[in-house]
Amino acid sequence: MDKPLESVEAYFKQQEIDLIKDMRERHAKETEQQDDEELQHRHYMHCPKCGQLMKSTMIETIEVDKCSNCLGIYFDNGELEQLFEIEFEKRKTIIHKIFGV
């Protein structure tokens, strides 16, 4: 009669192992997500050069991020391409507005 009892114990032991493994994986995913959110919160809209807050500004149809401290200008993905798609004379005006020339 020891065989059925060992089989039942092995089954429950495996169930506990699987449950612990699932809980650890879920905890690791939650921790990674929290770390990503914290990192984004600390760095979102902060200047990569000086670390100060940046402000988004709409210039014509293009949104640029400008640092209020070092006056650095940053384009998000695709925004610079949008600038080059605009006709030359209008682009020149936009560039003057962006750089304050």
Number of domains in the chain: 2
For residues 36 and 58, membership in a common domain is answered with no
Do 37 and 61 fall within a single domain? Answer: no
Q: Is residue 49 part of a domain?
A: no
Residue 36: its H or E element: helix 2-43
Provide the residue-wise pLDDT of the chain in tens; the chain has 101 residues: 467 778 889 999 999 999 999 999 999 999 999 888 887 777 678 888 898 989 988 877 788 898 989 988 888 888 888 887 877 777 778 777 777 75
Question: Residue 70: which residues within 8 A CB-CB, separation 6 or more?
Answer: 47, 49, 50, 52
Q: Are 77 and 39 within one domain?
A: no
Which structural domain range is residue 11 located in?
1-44
- Is 88 part of a structural domain of the chain? yes
